[in-house]
Amino acid sequence: MSRTLVIKLTAGAEEPERANQAFTVAATAVAAGATVSLWLTGEAVWFAVPGRAESFDLPHAAPLADLLTAVLEGGQLTVCTQCAKRRDLTQPDLRPGTRLAGAPTFTEEILTEATQAIVY
């Protein structure tokens, strides 16, 4: 049976360790063969804007841009629709492969059988 991991990140660059942990777990799960869905909410939505992950730096941590690339290549990256609107972000502002979705989609994902949800 295939397992799915849904990760919701609610912190941005203002909480670097929490932000990096979510990306690290997501990229590690992708590498392990899990189905991964990483949701960016609140200030975390800025990481989906080109250049933002590249400017993030946390000592002794994998580069966020590399972790984000791994998620985009092997999983699903989603930006909260309402969070994006509050920051005047639209689909063209986001990295290719990023989707915009809201609570109904998130709820559907986390209620699917064999799914584990984690919030950072």
Q: What are phi and psi of 101, to 5 degrees?
A: -155, 165
pLDDT given for residue 2 in this prediction: 77
CA–CA distance, 23 with 49 (Å, rounded to integer): 15
pLDDT given for residue 43 in this prediction: 97
Mean pLDDT of the chain: 96
In the chain the domains, ranked by start, together with CATH numbers, are 4-119 (3.40.1260.10)
25-38 residue pLDDT tens: 999 999 999 999 99
